[in-house]
Structure 1
């Protein structure tokens, strides 16, 4: 059904005269969204099996930049910031590697580096150091929570409740916070697919897994907004990277069957919670 989409994604595989959507010196985020961290997750989303040689080779590539402390060195020069590690960790989980013991240090890293406000923070102050930069980074925090849902005991980790509360507080505040100035405004409220970045769909999907959020009026308000954007309980894609415009599985302005599967997971999470009452 999505063979043409698969072909388009694969056509970028050697875009930098190397392989696996990256450069010879392993700048893994270069070429977004057709980069070494996210492009393979699109293929798996479209039905390519995890044991496919291309997927496995890409998994090996991502593991090759894993450092002993759990962080990922996704660029040959410069520091390693938490958002890059969180996104790479989530991608490896989506590629079937969540239980690989090599990721244990990555999960431990986040549990040990949690900020006092409950979130995680990329301490790169591109916009200066105003009072808003005292807060953690919402997108990084959302990705960390996303990565943890692949762990069987994540609901037992009370430490994550602080991160959930941080994101729920941001729903109330709305204003841009953190060093990268992530806010909740017009762009955030547009339904973005494939899942990624900091937006209403990703926000509700991730938080729907956490018991602390499921009954919270702030989360339920966000869920009702997402629900209001559906058509017959199906997700209509409103935004994504312009570079994805040729792909049928996430065509803007149309219902996406694959995106709707995530919405169905949200409904299932809330139904399970209601049944627990």
Structure 2
């Protein structure tokens, strides 16, 4: 049964000033904090719930606000003083894609910046953490790589074969499961618990994004991940096991309960895989 998410969308829109700044930003201008209910997070969640600029014109102003954080080279900062991180640029582009707002004049530069900053191992990492600490720290961040691939699924022609290289880096992580990159993203018990909405490096988010890439779908490692995710479904519905605490009040993110939008994503995965 289709369940309208409009009441949830309207409630989230009504909370736009709750962090002290405009459009879920903090009073100090940070659009990455607080974790889970920042500007970047909220725009992604609204897109997951089905909001678009076309259906919710009020979002156009929020999107213009975010473009105010774009640097001349196309990358995005999360505050006026922050560095430019691929994870932030990836998350912002992914959110814009969900909202149907990938601006044709401003977003291509951001996608190009991401390709220009792809790591030798295929993924993306934070360049502010210098190389040379250890092979694990020097590796790309699987979480950042997932965010970037989430962005590129909306513009696959912009990445070409380079995206298959990134897909391979995530599939390889399924095998090694080691904490990799400066932020030490690993695959353990926490990763394997179903999280929704898609905010962090997690099995459900991992499978959903990779299901958009043909080079992943036929791979045995992806199929193993799909089977691991299927074990968490109940009577065809996806059960949320580890919701983000910032979203607990919403029925689509209730712990131990089936989630209508999460189930819709699960069915998309099944249809593509």
TM-score by length of 2: 0.91
Tell me which residue corresponds to 2:79.
75
1:24 is displaced (CA, Å) by 4.7
1:220 is displaced (CA, Å) by 0.6
Alignment pair present for 1:108 and 2:90: no
What CA deviation, in whole Å up to 9, does each residue of 1:206-253 have, x standing for no partner? Answer: 111111111111111001000111112211011121121111122111
Which residues of 2 match residues 250-265 of structure 1 at below 5 A? Answer: 250-265=253-268
Contact 2:238-2:259 at 8 Å conserved across structures: yes
Contact 1:145-1:160 at 8 Å conserved across structures: yes
What CA deviation, in whole Å up to 9, does each residue of 1:106-153 have, x standing for no partner? Answer: 111111111111111113449x92331121110111111111110152
Q: Secondary structure at the match of 1:253?
A: coil
Q: Which runs of 5+ in 2 are unaligned?
A: none
Q: Take 1:259 and 1:119, find their aligned partners in 2: how far apart are those partners?
A: 26
2:173 to 156, 161, 170: 170
Q: Take 2:120 and 2:21, find their aligned partners in 1: how far apart are those partners?
A: 42
Contact 2:44-2:94 at 8 Å conserved across structures: no
Q: 1:80 to 1:152 in 2, by over 3 A?
A: closer
Q: Take 1:200 and 1:29, find their aligned partners in 2: how far apart are those partners?
A: 22
Instruction: Give structure 1 regions of 4+ aligned residues with deviation exceeding 4 angstroms.
Output: 1-4
Alignment pair present for 1:243 and 2:246: yes
Q: Which runs of 5+ in 1 are unaligned?
A: 271-277
TM-score by length of 1: 0.89
Supply the RMSD in Å over aligned alpha carbons: 2.1
Alignment pair present for 1:89 and 2:93: yes
Contact 2:36-2:199 at 8 Å conserved across structures: no
Q: Secondary structure at the match of 1:37?
A: helix
After the TM superposition, which of the residue ranges 99-108 and 17-26 deviates more from structure 2? 17-26
1:9 to 8, 12, 16: 12
What CA deviation, in whole Å up to 9, does each residue of 1:141-175 have, x standing for no partner? Answer: 11111111101526x81111111111111110011
Contact 1:98-1:151 at 8 Å conserved across structures: no
Q: 1:150 to 1:38 in 2, by over 3 A?
A: same
